[in-house]
Amino acid sequence: MGTLILNASSQTAVESRMAMTETIKAKNLAGTASAAGDPHSTGTTMAIQDVTLRYGDANGVLALDDVSLKVARNEFCVIVGPSGCGKSSLLYLAAGLNDATSGSIKVDGREVIEPGPDRGMVFQSYTLFPWLTVRANVEYGPRRKGLPAAQRKQIVDQYLDEVGLAPFADHYPAQLSGGMKQRVAIARALANDPAVLLMDEPFGALDSQTRGTMQKLLLRVWERQQKTVLFVTHDIDEALVLGDRVLVMTARPGKIKAEIKVDIPRPRSMDVILEPEFIALKRRILGLLHDEIDEDH
Amino acid sequence: MAQRRTAWTRLTTPFANIPASTATALALAMWVAVIGGWALLSYGRVVPNMFLPTPGTVLQTTYRMSLDGSLLYHTFTSAKVVILGFIVSSLISVPLGLWMGTYRVVQAPLEPLVNFIRYLPVTSFVPLFILWIGIGIEQRIAVIFFGTFFQQLVMISDCARSVSRDLVNASYTLGTKRSEAVWHVIFPAALPAILDTLRVTMGWAWTYLVVAELVAASSGLGYISLKAMRGFQVDVIFMAIAAIGLLGLITDTAFRIVRSRVAPWAP
C-alpha cells in the first residue's frame, strides 16, 4: 500500500504533541504527556500512534492524517471537531471496528487488531438489542464472557442502579425514551469493565435538556467508577463540561490541531458554562474551529 | 381541535386513524357488497347459473360435501401438500438466506442464479418434475417448493442485510466473535422481518396449489376444481376457491399470532 505518512518522518509523538501545543500559548502544557497533572492518572491506557486512514486505494479520500494521541488511565479525554473531520472514524479504529491504513493503536500495551470487550463503545445511534430486555442487554457482555449467573446478576444490578434504571430492568428498549436507551447503553458497556470507554457523540440525538441530564449522569458515573473515557463530540460546551483535556481536530484530512487542558475543578455543575474560565476556553476552541472553516473556503 | 373537524375531513386525512367500529363496519359492508352483488347477478339470472352459481347452491354443495367427509378429505390433502412444501422450503431458505444476507461470499455466487430462477414460471417446470419425480405427492410438494423457495431466499437475505451495522458493531465491542454474530445478533434482529416474509410467502404457496394439482393428482381442492370444470359443477369450484381462501386466512392469522409470541418486542 502506498501509505502516506506526511509529516511524521522525524517527529516522535511527544514532539509532535509539543508542536501542537505551541498553538495554545496561554496554557501551560509543560510535560505534555497527556494529563500529567491529573490527580488520578497512573499511566497511559490508550496510545494512538501515527494513525493514517485512507478510504479506497492510494488516491482515495484521506480521512485521518498521521494522528497521535495518548489517553491516561482514568482520564476523560474529549475530541471535538467539525462534522466529517474523521473523529468518529478514529473512534471506530480504536474500537477495532475498522483497520487503519498505517500506524498503531495500543490499549494497555496491547495492539488493537479486533474489536473486543476491553474497549466498550457507546454509539450515537441506538444500538440496544431490541429483542432483549434492559436487564438482558446489560447482561449480554458478562454472558459472552461466560460469567456465572450469580455474578452476572450482581453486575447487572450494580450498573442498572448506577444509571438509575433498576425499575425498568424488565422493559424492552422500544418502551424507553432516547435518553434512557443511552443510559442502558452506558451500563451495558460498563458491565464488561472495559479498559477504555469509547463514546461516539452518544448524546447527539437527544434534546438539549436530556443531553444536560445525561452529561451530569455520565460525570457522576465516571467519577465513581474511575474509568478511562475517549469521548467524541462536535458540541464545544459538552467537551468542556466533561473533559479533562480537549483535542481539537481539523477537517479533511483529520489531524489533531490543538490540545487544551481543562483546569476547571471537579465535581463540575452544569452552571460551569457561565464561568469566565469556561468562556475563555470556549472562545479559544471556537477560534480554532473558525480558522478551519475559513481555510475551507 | 379534532372536534372542530368534520367527520369527512377526519376520514380523508392521510394516515389518520379511524374508530375501530368504523373500520369493522367498512369491512363488513365490503363483504355484504361482494356477496350481495353475487346474489343479485346469480338469482337475477343476469349471468346463467351454469357459469355463476347462486350462493344458496354453493352453501348446499358445501353442506353435502361436508357431511360425506369429502370436503375435509380434499382440504386435508391440499393442506398437507402446501404445508409440507412450505416447511421444506423455509427450513432451507431461512439459514441459507441469513448467510446470503450476511456474507458477500455466499451472496456473490447465489444471487445471479437465484434471480434468474425466480422469474421462471413454475408451470414450465411441471413436466420436468413429473419426469424426474413422478406423479406422487412429492411432485406436488416440489411445485410448492419451487414456487416459494427462491422468493423466500431473496427476501430473507434482504431481511438479514438490512440489520443495522451499528447493532452488529456494538455486539463486537461487547465480546461477540465474528462467527457468532449471525446467530447472536443478525438472526434475532431480523426475526420479525423473517416471520413477516414467511407469512407473505405462505400466501404465495397456497396460490401454487392448483398448479401443483393440475396433473396426476387424485385428491385435493385443486383437483376437485379441475374435475368440476369438466362436469360444469361451478358450485364445487366456488366452494374450493372459498376453502383455499379460508385456509390462507387461517395460516395468515396463525403466523401473526406466532410473530406476536416469538417477537413481542417488535412493532
Domain housing B195: 57-262
Does residue A164 sit within a domain?
no
Q: Which residues of chain B have pLDDT under 50?
A: 1
Amino acid A40: pLDDT: 45
Shared-domain flag, residues B188 and B201: yes
- Quick check: A30 pLDDT over 60? no
Query: Rounded CA gap, A68 and A46, in Å?
Result: 11
> With contacts defined as CB-CB under 8 Å, which chain B residues touch A88?
none
Does residue A18 sit within a domain?
no
Does residue B114 sit within a domain?
yes
Of the residues B36, B52, B68, which one is the last residue of a structural domain?
B52
Does residue A257 sit within a domain?
yes
- The domain tally of chain A equals 1
Shared-domain flag, residues B42 and B151: no
CB contact under 8 A, A141 and B175: yes
For range A125-129, the mean pLDDT = 95
- Cβ–Cβ contact B262 with A under 8 A: no
Indicate the residue of B173, B263, B267 with minimum beta-carbon distance to A117. Answer: B173
ipTM: 0.82
Q: Please write the tens of the pLDDT for every residue from A160-186.
A: 999 999 999 999 999 999 999 999 999
Of the residues B52, B68, B93, which one is the last residue of a structural domain?
B52
Domain housing A261: 75-100+111-118+194-296
Contact A178, A122 (CB under 8 A): no
pLDDT band at A222 (very low <50, low <70, confident <90, very high): very high
- Quick check: A12 pLDDT over 70? no
Shared-domain flag, residues B32 and B152: no
Does residue A242 sit within a domain?
yes
- The domain tally of chain B equals 2
pLDDT band at A294 (very low <50, low <70, confident <90, very high): low
Amino acid B266: pLDDT: 86
Does residue B267 sit within a domain?
no
Contact A106, B240 (CB under 8 A): no
Does residue B75 sit within a domain?
yes
Amino acid B85: pLDDT: 95
Does residue A163 sit within a domain?
no
Quick one: what percent of chain A has pLDDT higher than 90?
66
Amino acid A32: pLDDT: 35
Does residue B237 sit within a domain?
yes
Shared-domain flag, residues B138 and B27: no
Does residue B189 sit within a domain?
yes
Indicate the residue of B166, B170, B176 with minimum beta-carbon distance to A144. Answer: B176
What is the per-residue burial (b if ≥16 Cβ within 10 Å, else e) of B54-77?
beebbeebbeebeeeeebeebbeb
Does residue B112 sit within a domain?
yes
Shared-domain flag, residues B150 and B245: yes
Closest A-chain CA to B264: A131
Q: Please report, for the domain that includes residue B129, its CATH number.
A: 1.10.3720.10
Shared-domain flag, residues B173 and B213: yes
Strands (E), A149-277: 196-200, 228-233, 245-250, 255-261
Shared-domain flag, residues B201 and B138: yes
CB contact under 8 A, A198 and B267: no
Shared-domain flag, residues B66 and B173: yes
Amino acid A173: pLDDT: 96
Shared-domain flag, residues B32 and B62: no
Of the residues B29, B52, B75, which one is the last residue of a structural domain?
B52
Shared-domain flag, residues B42 and B148: no
Indicate the residue of B167, B173, B263 with minimum beta-carbon distance to A120. Answer: B173
**Of B100, B143, B103, which Cα lies nearest the Cα of B120?**
B143
- Quick check: A273 pLDDT over 50? yes
Shared-domain flag, residues B133 and B186: yes
Shared-domain flag, residues B100 and B224: yes
Question: Which is more confident, A252 or A223?
Answer: A223
What is the per-residue burial (b if ≥16 Cβ within 10 Å, else e) of B125-162?
bbeebeeeeeeebebbbbbbbbbbbbbbbbbbbebbbe
Q: Please report, for the domain that includes residue A91, its CATH number.
A: 3.40.50.300
